[in-house]
Amino acid sequence: MDVTNKPVFEGVRVIEFCRVLAGPACTKYLADYGAEVIKVETAANPDTIRSWSPYKDGVPGVNRSTTFAMFNTGKLSVTLDLTKPAAVALAKRLVAKADVVVENYTPSVMKKWGLSYDDLKQVNPRLIMLSVTPQGQTGPYSLQPALGIELGASAGYLSFIGRPDREIIQPFIAFPDIIAVCMGITAIVGALLHRRRTGEGQYIDLSMLEASLPTLGPSLLDAQANGREPQLMGNRSLYAAPQGVYRCKGEDRWCAISVLNDGEWDGLVKAMGDPQWAAESRFATMLDRKRNEDELDRNIENWTTHHTAAEAMSLLQAHGVAAAAVQKGADLAKDPQLEHRRAYELVEGHPEIGPHYTVAPAFVLSQSKYSLRAAPCLGQDNEYVFTRILGLSDEEFIELIADEVIA
């Protein structure tokens, strides 16, 4: 392979002590782009996401979760009982041969095992270590466990989402996890560049709570600067009118529409066939439309309900208006734009799931390729990692299995 086409992280070895999403998804992209990622779990208490459905053929199993398969492509899997000193010693030997460690346990866990950054830099001074935690390594709430919904509550964005006449709604997507993935990869790349220049490793303390704050945008700044609390607006916006999700022809079909200025308003009116109501003075300017949003939304939905979501989207986009049909899972699976971009790729070689489609990296580098390889079964690479990478003899390897150190 020409050197210019080599994966950008080729030659980088990563040891992962992670569970669920934020940490594993971060290292997944490193693996897709060439890093050797060794995922450390225990057979008695493996990564939580291994138990998440959907399963292949609906049959549960520690190696059958397609959710786990999506977020752990291309990794090696080893099992160590880190409550045992011999297992911790093996983990340190792995770290001594690594470039990066990524972990996302609460701050007390790695320290309890003797695997904190202070411990690990003794065996590898050039080590880069990323810790992804709900609220960072320090502070009064740093030891609090949290998943997506709790972080949404702590970050405040649950109070920004929904309608004033409805109860609080938790978004389906774990936004803090996904944002942490982006920031984690960025931080690792920065630390690798720093090490290339100086030879120094370093520790990265990533707070998912703090990573979430920029998503609140002006509402957060308004509360801080002016003491104003945001008002729940449903699908509406301070900066657009109309903006909403409008019912269309067909069962449970909708189209999202946003109009940011008078030029786009003119496009919307033309797309709708210049209805008389649109010429009324109460809809003449953005401010007028904001003042009369209830009636504006009713009028627009009277139009959208006579069209399919795809028809409404096409008509509006042809007139320069931002619009998108609300897609369901089946729609996404056959979306022509995603198909063109090869957003889904077939992964082969998994012994229990078999051939399956997964989501490809969203960023495509023109001179560096990625490779999607099957996620590992639990502990499948124990022999390779401990005998080939660490150099254990067959006798030592078998003895550690018998002692349930490798377990």
Distances (CA, A) of 251 to 248, 254, 302, 308, 309: 8, 9, 16, 10, 11
Of 243, 257, 276, 263, give the one whose Cα is nearest residue 316: 257
Whether residue 107 is contained in a domain is answered as yes
Any domain includes 222? no
- Same domain, yes or no, for 383 and 287? no
pLDDT for 228 equals 81
Q: What are phi and psi of 81, to 5 degrees?
A: -90, 95
Tens digit of each residue's pLDDT (9 = 90 or more) over 44-65: 999 999 999 999 999 999 999 9
The count of residues in the chain is 407
Residue that terminates a domain, selected from 325, 360, 384: 325
Residues 174, 41 share a domain: yes
pLDDT interval class at 171 (50, 70, 90): low
What is the per-residue pLDDT across 17-34, written as a single tens digit (0 to 9) for each?
999 999 999 999 999 999
Q: What is the pLDDT of residues 176-231, one digit of tens each?
A: 888 899 999 999 999 999 999 999 999 999 999 999 888 777 777 877 888 887 77
pLDDT tens, position by position, 302-325 = 999 999 999 999 999 999 999 999
pLDDT-wise least confident of 60-74, 158-172, 194-208, 248-262:
158-172
Average pLDDT, the chain: 93
What CATH number does the domain containing 126 carry?
3.40.50.10540
The pLDDT value given to residue 172: 62
- Number of structural domains (the chain) is 2
Give the domain range for residue 265: 243-247+254-325
Residue 36 has pLDDT above 50, yes or no: yes
Residues 244 and 293: their CA atoms lie apart, in Å, by 10
Q: How confident is the model at residue 1 (pLDDT cuts 50, 70, 90)?
A: very low
- Which of the residues are catalytic? 177
